[in-house]
Amino acid sequence: MLKKIEHIGIAVKNLNNSNELFKKLFGKEHYKVEAVASEGVSTSFFMLGETKIELLEATNDNSAIAKFIEKKGEGIHHIAYEVDNLDEEMVRLKQEGFELINLKPKDGADNKRICFLHPKTTNGVLVELCEEKK
């Protein structure tokens, strides 16, 4: 079961410049910067109440973020939801007719196991499911 919005992912061209921009907007510093080599991104996280904002910068031209920015420009890339049991949720959502981009959970940023749902089955929104690594 989806519990809450875990974070909103925003694709950016330059992480350092965007960190400064969002620092001014939120009135606070980011709390973490992390590279996720398997996804070809560097990430930065801001905490707003119970929700995180994740900035994502491509580290190579073949990453999903690089392709997203090339096609659509900077902006909201995905909405991530927290789940208690990622494996069970993947089975449930597949049975409900959602298309999983990842057939197996992957390691993501901020100590999470993740899976993405294809936007063609979620009204054009890229949905990420997140489970805290145990």
- At 80-122, the pLDDT tens digits run 999 999 999 999 999 999 999 999 999 999 999 999 999 999 9
Phi, psi of 70 (to 5 degrees): -60, -40
What pLDDT was estimated at residue 134?
A: 85
pTM (2 d.p.)? 0.94
Under 8 Å between Cβ of 19 and 55: yes
Give the span between the Cα atoms of 117 and 26, in whole angstroms. 29
pLDDT at 104: 95
